[in-house]
Amino acid sequence: MCRKVMMFTISEIKITPRWLTSREANQLETELKSTPNILGYTAGELQHFPNVLVAETPSGEFAGACISKDLLFNWTDIAMLYVLPKFRGYGIGGKLFREAFARAQARRRHIYVLSRNPSVIRLMEQSEMKIARAAWQAPLALHLYNQYHMSSLYRLSEAIRKSRMRRDDGQRFVAATKRYEP
Ligand SMILES: CC(C)(COP(=O)(O)OP(=O)(O)OC[C@H]1O[C@@H](n2cnc3c(N)ncnc32)[C@H](O)[C@@H]1OP(=O)(O)O)[C@@H](O)C(=O)NCCC(=O)NCCS
């Protein structure tokens, strides 16, 4: 297979903390429907997350985003990491994740990540996160937030659709934490 050569180096990828534009949010809502790894968000929700890092190419093209959510008891959930398919494998996901992680650490937050994507699991390990054995071991802040998160009809219907997408793909969710230690 012939792979298109990207006209940038990873150091040229700009990572900016800012709100998603409505165009980016619409694009992301559609994109998220294609992955079994993230339940998804509506464009309206995506546009209102305050803690977002946006990756752009040197020509200003939207390449991906990472959303972190501040929860109760000083926990921050690095909740959504997404790179557009044509930009994957060039280091953008890693750059977004490390930046989100460093920013949460700089704010002295405990960090939580849940993922079934092998690249993200590798990033968790590289960040020396503690891998939890079972979902119920997640911090209380996560259990409380999930009540609200799953009260959305959009997510409930996506949960059903995505459980079918995930069937038999052999990957399982891995949760990891990194507690702030003064
Ligand atoms: C997960 C995702 C964001 C990764 O983005 P990306 O730009 O391709 O990631 P990178 O190129 O930075 O690779 C990240 C790391 O994973 C590693 N990696 C790549 N493929 C891997 C695999 N199959 N197994 C383990 N590690 C892998 C890379 O080597 C890299 O590690 P390094 O920095 O030490 O070299 C992207 O694939 C994506 O958006 N997937 C769909 C949505 C999703 O699953 N999101 C995660 C759910 S939270």
- pLDDT given at position 4: 59
Higher pLDDT, 181 or 169: 181
Which protein residue's CA is at the shortest distance from atom 24 of ligand 1?
118
Confidence of residue 136 (pLDDT cuts 50, 70, 90): confident
Inform me whether the pLDDT recorded for 71 exceeds 60: yes
Indicate if ligand 1 lies below 6 Å from the C-beta of 40: no
Task: Report the pLDDT averaged over residues 178-182.
Answer: 94
CATH topology of domain 10-178: Aminopeptidase (3.40.630)
pLDDT at 20: 98
Ligand 1 close to Cβ of residue 36 (< 6 A): no
Ligand 1 pocket member 66 (CB < 6 A): no
pLDDT beyond 50 at 1? no
- How would residue 5 be classed by pLDDT, with cut points 50, 70 and 90? low
The pLDDT assigned to 135 comes to 74
Domains of the chain, by residue range, sit at 10-178
Q: What is the pLDDT of residues 119-128, one digit of tens each?
A: 999 999 999 9
Q: Map the chain to HEC letters.
A: CCCCCCCCCHHHCEEEECCCCHHHHHHHHHHHCCCCCCCCCCHHHHHCCCCEEEEECCCCCEEEEEEEEECHHHEEEEEEEEECHHHCCCCHHHHHHHHHHHHHHHCCCEEEEEECCHHHHHHHHHCCCEEECCHHHCCHHHHHHHHHHCCCHHHHHHHHHHHHHHCCCCCCCEEEEECCCC
68 CB near ligand 1 (under 6 Å): no
Judge whether residue 169 has pLDDT over 90. no
Kindly state if the Cβ of 17 falls inside 6 Å of ligand 1: no
Name the residue of 119, 149, 171, 173 to mutate for ligand 1: max ligand atoms within 8 A of Cβ.
Answer: 119
CA of 89 to the centre of ligand 1 (A): 7
| For residue 133, pLDDT beyond 90 | no
Q: What is the mean pLDDT of residues 106-127?
A: 97
State in Å: Cα 101 to ligand 1 middle. Answer: 15
- pLDDT score, position 12: 97
State pTM to two decimals. Answer: 0.95
